[in-house]
Structure 1
Amino acid sequence: MKSPLVSLAAVALAGLLAGCNDNTSMAKAGPAPRPVVSMLVKAQKEQPSGFAGTIQPEFQTDRGFRVLGRLIARRVDVGDVVRPGQVLAQIDPLLLELAVRSSEADLAKAKAQLDNATATESRRRALLAKDVVTQADFDTAQQSLEAASASVKQAEANLTKAREQRGYATLTADAAGVVTSVDAEVGQMVTAGKKVMTIARTDSREAVVDIPDFTARSLSPGQPFTVSLQADPSVTASGKIREIAPQADQATRTRRVKITLDRNVEEFRLGTTITVWPVEHATAQTFFDIPASAIVTRDGGPHVWRLDPKTKTVHAVSVEITEKDSQKIRIGSGLAAGERIVIAGVNSLSNGQIVKFDERNSP
């Protein structure tokens, strides 16, 4: 018969052997997969930010009378479309008409003096041949003839000038366009050269925008831009930079940039609000927004843990950060749409580590 002491020893030995077998099984099975929180990467489109501006004429002229006068008629108003040669306004032509009549009278007088000088010169020439008059008398007659001839030419020039100035009483359009401003009313005295109205030509239009100085420094004349209507972005046109202001505005620190449209589009009316941006930035940019907790710093740069759903392992991949804040990171490159990344517990993972994740636990 076995003693109680031997029985207890046998039981203890059996328990110890069982414990050793359990530890050996756990060692062979390896460490348990680490639970992580993950998410699927979704691509987003960012429309390029443009610059707001307006459609303006490339050429516009200030129209005014060349002579002093009282405005007696104005045939157009703001917004009217005019054609070349169309009468725009008129001043009182009375003084100009009197100047023409005076010049006509001066010409008639000069011609009469020329006729008299011509007859005198002919008589003196005949008498000189008969030695009736002296050479000095004949020379005087010749000088009078030449002076009378010059007076006629002067009177003719004055008459031509007076008639030309009489035409200045009527203001006409020199090109097709639109009246954009009116600066004189009927009955008002206008001086020579004073602006009466402004006409914008419609055959060439351009987009005028104010661009920040630091951005305008990288632009150059001839650079292509895309222009779209703010009211209807589907209406677009192309253009090239014609002019960049040499200095920035002291208050806004922007430079005025003028972009000439390659063709006239009916929807781009003068004064229409538009948006412009460089052609190379006209397409939408793809980016990925992920939680800030997904970023881990490795080898001096930002990385994320890419999770392979088949092998359930993680691998560090380098990414490029374009924007960030305390909650969100915007990734420009390094990820692809549909990939799964770890967004929590990233600092305790290693390459090739097996993890446990729940697809329903994705943000």
Structure 2
Amino acid sequence: MKAALPLFVLAAAALAGCGNGKTAVDPVRPVLTQVVSPGALATRDTYSGEVRARHETDLAFRVAGKIIARPVDAGARVARGQVLARLDPVDAKLAADASHAQLASAESDHALAKAELDRHADLLNRKFISQSSFDAKQNAYNAAKAKLEQSRSQAAITTNQADYTTLVADADGVVISVSAEPGQVVAAGQPVLRLARSGEKEIVINAPENQVTRFKPGQDVMVQLWADASLIFPGKVREIAGGADPVTRTYTVKVTAINPPDAAQLGMTANVAFKAGADSELVLLPLSALARDKSDPAVWIVEPKSGKVQLRAVKVGQFREDGVTITKGLAAGDRVVIAGVHKLRPEQVVRVAN
């Protein structure tokens, strides 16, 4: 047994000599990060809503017919006067042609009745005809004149109806939905698409019935985009629904966005909070960003030059439905790891994936 020990040591030394002498290096881990931007909403009393256009209109044809073209789809940006859809114009054109033909006939009858009236007026002055004969021509002229006016109105109506076979945008905006496809027969007034007009935007939220009394028309609030927590802008309560939704039992509250940033696109999610809830020094992070430094809460900070991570102790404010607030320990511009924090170690090199 004693002779076997030196052999084991020699074998271990020989195996060690077969290596390349390099120390194993931890792989570079990809991580998700967030740049610290103070100024989060201090209150947890927030209401999630959707960015909407102030005016949304269902556009429809004013006449019935078969759709032969719809050159725009949902999401298309359109300008005032741009063609959105077309109906088959054949029937409308035939009706317009018939009305114009009737108008031409009425104009001829009117001209003849006018000439007859003038001749009989001259004969009446010469005492060649009776007053009753002249009155008959006067009545015939009045009837021809009324028929002419009727034909003109009818021709104008059919001309307008022929124009109504083309649906155009009445304002600049974005098509947010379509309800009819080419080949479909639609009735007059049946929605074909929905247009969100450019310009004023608003945030539509649903307030529970036990909270709706907190909102008042004209009340100042703050709005924060979910896509970019650093974008906070003011808003004003514009409208509160007079009754609860029969399904959700919530009240719709519409908040006018005041000077919203260009990043606030239609359909985005936004949080609405009372204006007093904004804190210029408060930082909001996802719950997944929190780690532990012994027994204290901490976060991993990515050093911009070396790409290494360091654990930094922080002071937590509140745990909320939208994340966790940090009151101390972070500065503007710090890059915090928000995913995979439990697989990191100090001085480890990471690759920022976002």
Q: Is the counterpart of residue 55 in structure 1 residue 55 in structure 2? A: no
The residue type equivalent to 1:88 in the other structure is L
Match of 2:127 among 118, 122, 131: 131
Q: Is 1:172–2:168 an aligned residue pair? A: yes
Scaled by the length of structure 1, what TM-score is found? 0.64
Match of 1:182 in 2: 178
Q: Secondary structure at the match of 1:154?
A: helix
| Aligned residues of 2:61 and 2:165 also touching (Cα < 8 A) | yes
| Alignment check: 8 A CA contact 1:57 1:200 kept | yes
Q: CA deviation at 1:157?
A: 1.2
| 8 Å Cα contact 1:56-1:208 kept in structure 2 | yes
Q: CA deviation at 1:253?
A: 4.3
CA–CA distance in structure 2, aligned partners of residues 175 and 158 of structure 1: 29
What runs of 5+ residues in structure 1 fail to find an aligned partner? 1-44, 287-322, 324-336, 338-363
* Secondary structure at the counterpart of residue 217 of structure 1: helix
CA distance in 1, matches of 2:214, 2:225: 25
Q: 1:215 aligns with which of 200, 206, 211?
A: 211
Give 1 or 2 for the bigger CA radius of gyration. 1
- Note the alpha carbon deviations across 1:52-110, whole angstroms, 9 max, x for none: 11111111000000001110110100000000000000001111111111111111111
- The whole-number CA distance in structure 2 between the counterparts of 1:251 and 1:145 is 65
1:275 deviation in Å?
Answer: 1.1
Whether the aligned pair in 1 keeps the contact of 2:74 and 2:178 (CA below 8 Å) is yes
What is residue 266 of structure 1 aligned with on the other side?
262
Is 2:250 the partner of 1:254? yes
Q: Look up the equivalent residue of 2:187 and give its one-letter code.
A: T
| Letter of the structure 1 residue corresponding to residue 155 of structure 2 | L
Q: Which amino acid in structure 2 is aligned with residue 54 of structure 1?
A: E
Give the alignment of 1:83-102 within 5 angstroms. 83-102=79-98
**Letter in structure 1 aligned against 2:65:** G
Distance in 2 between residues matched to 1:231 and 1:183, nearest whole Å: 29
Shift of the alpha carbon at 1:258?
A: 0.9
Residue among 170, 191, 194 paired with 1:195: 191
Q: What secondary structure, in the 3-state scheme, does the structure 1 residue paired with 2:62 have?
A: coil
Structure 2 equivalent of residue 140 of structure 1: 136
Alpha-carbon distance between aligned partners in 2 of 1:181 and 1:251, rounded to the nearest angstrom = 23
Alpha-carbon distance, 1:251 to partner: 5.3
8 A contact 2:86–2:166 mirrored in 1: yes
CA–CA distance in structure 1, aligned partners of residues 123 and 141 of structure 2: 17
CA deviation vs aligned residue, 1:21-80 (integer Å, no higher than 9, x gap): xxxxxxxxxxxxxxxxxxxxxxxx993111111111111000000001110110100000
Give the aligned residue type for 1:47. Answer: A
Match of 1:117 among 113, 116, 125: 113
| Aligned residue number for residue 75 of structure 1 | 71
SS for the counterpart of 1:113 is helix
Matched to 2:153, the amino acid is: A
TM-score of the superposed pair, with normalisation by structure 2: 0.65
Change (3 A) 1:285 1:216: farther
Aligned structure 1 segments of 4 or more residues deviating by more than 6 angstroms: none
In 1, Cα distance between equivalents of 2:246 and 2:186 = 36
State the alpha-carbon separation in 1 of the partners of residues 130 and 246 from structure 2.
83
How many residues in Structure 1 have an aligned counterpart in Structure 2?
Answer: 244
Q: How many angstroms apart in 1 are the aligned matches of 2:140 and 2:134?
A: 10
Q: RMSD across aligned C-alpha pairs, in angstroms?
A: 2.2
Residue type matched to 1:149 in 2?
A: K
- For residues 129 and 212 of structure 1, what CA distance do their matches in structure 2 show? 87
Please, which runs of 5 or more residues in structure 2 have no aligned partner? Answer: 1-39, 283-317, 319-327, 329-354
Distance 1:139 1:243 in 2: 65
Question: 1:188 and 1:110, CA in 2 relative to 1: closer, same or farther beyond 3 A?
Answer: same
Residue matched to 2:309: none
- Whether the aligned pair in 2 keeps the contact of 1:46 and 1:285 (CA below 8 Å) is no
Per-residue deviation, residues 118-177 of structure 1 (Å, max 9, x unmatched)? 121122222223332211001101111111112111111111111111110100000111
The 8 Å contact of residues 47 and 284 in structure 1, kept in 2 or not, is answered as no
Give the structure 2 partner of residue 278 of structure 1.
Answer: 274
- Match for residue 154 of structure 1 among 132, 150, 156: 150
Name the CA distance, whole Å, in 1 between partners of 2:87 and 2:199: 29
Q: Using the alignment, how far apart are the partners of 1:147 and 1:97 within structure 2?
A: 28
1:238 aligns with 2:218: no
How far does residue 284 in structure 1 lie from its aligned partner after superposition?
8.0
Aligned mate of 1:107, from 83, 87, 103: 103
Query: In the TM superposition, what whole-angstrom CA distance separates every residue of 1:224-251 from its partner, at most 9, and x where no partner exists?
Result: 1111111211011111001112233455
